[in-house]
Amino acid sequence: MNRVLCFKRHLRPERAGDDLVLLLGEREQFLLKGRAYALLAPLLDGRRTVLELIAALADKVSAAEVAYALSRLEERGYLVEAAPGEPPEAAAFWEAAGVAGPGAARRLGDAAVAVQAVGGEDPGPLCAALAEAGLALRDDAPLCALVVGDYLDPALEGWNREARARGVRWLPVKPSGAVAWAGPLFRPDRGPCWACLAERLRHNRPVERFVLRRTGARGPLTPPRAATPASLGAAARLAALALARAITSGDRGPLDDQLLTLDLAQHHTEAHAVVRRPQCPECGDPGLTRRRMLEPVALAPRPKRFTEDGGHRTLTPAETLARLAPQISRLTGVISSSGPLGGADHPLCPVYGASYAACPATDAPSPDVFERRGNGKGRTAAQAHASALCEAIERYSAVFQGDEPRRSARLADLGGEAVHPAALLGISERQHHARDVWNTRIADPSHHLPQPFDEQAEIDWTPAWSLTHDERRYLPTAYCYIDPPRASDRRFFSFNTNGHAAGNCLEEAVLQGFLELVERDAFALWWYNRAPRPGVDLAGFDEPYLVQLEAHYRSLGLRAWVLDLTTDLEIPAFAAIARSAQGDLWSVGFGCHLEARLGVQRALTELNQLLALEGRVPPPWDTSALGDAAFLLPDGAAPARTSRDYPGAARDDLRDDVLSCVERAARAGLETIVLDQTRPDTGLCAVKVVVPGLRHFRPQLAPGRLYDVPVRLGWLERPRTEEEMNPALLYM
């Protein structure tokens, strides 16, 4: 009752009638309705206790009404306890900035900051700005602001270790340049450290990494210094205000695990999330990734929470986007940027892209290879965006980073634990003999046929886990990773993304990777055999989106249809095909899922994606080599498939779906192997699923299921010969 209350100093009360009060702030306005509020408003000036307020209004409202009105105003955050002697303008500033409660000036006065500089930088402007912000400067303060010219200055590595050892909080500040930097506030007991940030900064400087690797220099490669007294002062004041807010907020605020940038040319500020890396060699466990990859892959129960768009998930697309938001930044993120692709703005056909930095292993890269992109599609924009982010993180996770376990050995040294490369690549002897001719037909070197594997060669092998037999397997490292460490191994393997997937949990990722293998295998059996397949009646799935999308393509002058490609694995697989009325444009997309409705949807949304990426261009295959294209059309002799032709195979738990897939593969004589490629700092699980024997849309013409399964299924009366296989290559 003896507390002295007042409105927050950034709010001005304005009585608007007998029972109305307006609270006016710079960025907000609140309307209070009630006689007690109208009577109290002019009295809440920080001079009266609660008892005095009750006494002053005793002849107008009861004590209970006054107490209730005051409690409601406090609950809504409009009132604070008065702090005598506190400058009202400063108090109004901090309260408008979200600093709770009075006493900000006192807390600033009780704090002290040490200021130092490295690399010849001038600490003077920052010292002046900190003093203006109300902070005391003291050399022995437990909080240090460090002025730097580059956040990757080698001196900061020692700073980071010493600060952690001494328990000192510290803040890097880069005031020079057209874009000034400040933060984050590094703490020895929690959050990311400088080494976590430095790893991400290096990742997002791929050209610089390439030059440093090529020249052997240590770096960083710092551009010419750019500064004026005004720019240095503006940058220093930004850092000082941000640090002052952190202190008044109890270390919370804009510097809390964030790097702030001020673009002094564009007058624009940004906050870049800085993520702690659990595998960080300074503040984390550098052996974490290795140990995880050496452990058996153990599946856990994962009930499904989302089953409507693109697949079955443990989180909704919106939840996945929120989870991955800290990973998006051109400075500190795994993903440098993301957004809808140009020309893909129709609500039925959302397609998104997510870019990430890449440092190619080749010594003569083209300028456009330093940035790669993951693409995403879906029925909704949220799903398409989430899909793009997941694909970008999937690809990032597949880049060899140096902390992965591997073993250098010959094939025979590993015994039965090694998977023979021939079973992985599926390349025939005839293809190997004619590989030079094959490769002249393929413009993309990553799609070239490799040299025949030499069983006596010593190569790097990566440990993986057989879900079929619950035991260790070894896969060639160059088959599993982008830019593997032993360059000579790449002569035997050309990396492709088949079976790579990311998900909110391990089970989600494994399921997506397995379904991609089944989808590509179904394509190969159909495409290379040119096997007629029945069409799909889109109206027979009770899914309005499918019918609407078909009508949308008609409005664009395209005819779209879907073929059933389901194989002996009995997992619904489909091809969606679009053709212009003139026949000069063709495009194709593929989809596969335990739930047929989603398999059809995935095929059509991939068709959306490819049309958005490629536009109205010639067919994605060599039409002169294709010959008879009748197999691209629905088989007129077979009835169109509907949902009734696909018995429900999906369960309520993702683990059960994965086990069902493993069992289906085993019945076909196939083994399912999983390599866990999860990077602990990315927010997603990532895997490579391998099922030796399944085929790919790249030509893998070795004997096996490519020839046998179409006959067993009745697609063909007899196996085709290798010479009879479709010579037209699909470019996707």
pLDDT of the residue at 687:
98
Cα 562 to the center of its chain, rounded Å: 30
Q: What band does 92 get if pLDDT is binned at 50, 70 and 90?
A: confident
pLDDT of the residue at 388:
96
pLDDT of the residue at 724:
95
496-513 per-position pLDDT tens digit: 899 999 999 999 999 999
At 383, is the secondary structure helix, strand, or coil? helix
Looking at 55-69, 524-538, 614-628, which range is the least confident one? 614-628
Q: What band does 638 get if pLDDT is binned at 50, 70 and 90?
A: very high
Q: How many CB atoms lie within 10 A of CB 319?
A: 16
Mean pLDDT confidence for 548-576: 94
Strand (E) or helix (H) holding 592: strand 586-592
d(CA 507, CA 292): 15
Asked if residues 256 and 274 have their Cβ atoms less than 8 Å apart, the reply is no
Looking at 361-365, 534-538, 592-596, 641-645, which range is the least confident one? 361-365
449-492 per-position pLDDT tens digit: 899 999 999 999 999 999 999 999 999 999 999 989 888 998 99
Closest by CA position to 392, among listed 408, 375, 377, 405 = 375
pLDDT of the residue at 254:
82
Q: Which amino acid is at 375?
A: N
d(CA 488, CA 450): 12
378-405 per-position pLDDT tens digit: 999 999 999 999 999 999 999 999 999 9
Q: Which residue has the tokens 């096997």?
A: 531
pLDDT of the residue at 175:
96
Q: What band does 620 get if pLDDT is binned at 50, 70 and 90?
A: confident
Taking CA atoms, 466 is separated from 415, 419, 463, 671, 691, in Å, by 15, 11, 10, 7, 10
- Torsion sign over Cα 313, 653, 516, 513: positive
Q: Is residue 616 over pLDDT 60?
A: no
pTM: 0.91
Q: Are strands 143-147 and 169-174 parallel, antiparallel or unpaired?
A: parallel
434-458 per-position pLDDT tens digit: 998 888 877 777 778 899 999 999 9
Closest by CA position to 162, among listed 114, 122, 125 = 114
323-335 per-position pLDDT tens digit: 999 999 999 999 9
Q: Is residue 101 over pLDDT 60?
A: no
Q: What band does 50 get if pLDDT is binned at 50, 70 and 90?
A: very high
d(CA 113, CA 486): 49
* Mean pLDDT for all residues in the chain: 92
pLDDT of the residue at 367:
67
Asked if residues 548 and 557 have their Cβ atoms less than 8 Å apart, the reply is no
In the chain, the domains with their CATH numbers are 4-83 (3.90.930.60), 111-273 (3.40.50.720)
Q: Is residue 433 over pLDDT 70?
A: yes
229-281 per-position pLDDT tens digit: 999 999 999 999 999 998 888 767 788 999 999 999 899 999 999 999 999 99
Could you tell me which residues come within 8 angstroms of residue 83 by beta carbon, excluding any fewer than 6 positions away? 91, 102, 103, 106
Q: What band does 107 get if pLDDT is binned at 50, 70 and 90?
A: confident
pLDDT of the residue at 297:
97
pLDDT of the residue at 592:
96
pLDDT of the residue at 361:
77
Could you tell me which residues come within 8 angstroms of residue 355 by beta carbon, excluding any fewer than 6 positions away? 335, 336, 337, 338, 371, 372, 373, 392
pLDDT of the residue at 615:
62
Mean pLDDT confidence for 11-20: 92
Taking the chain, what is the end-to-end CA distance rounded to the nearest angstrom? 74
Q: What band does 290 get if pLDDT is binned at 50, 70 and 90?
A: very high
195-239 per-position pLDDT tens digit: 999 999 999 999 999 999 888 888 899 889 999 999 999 999 999
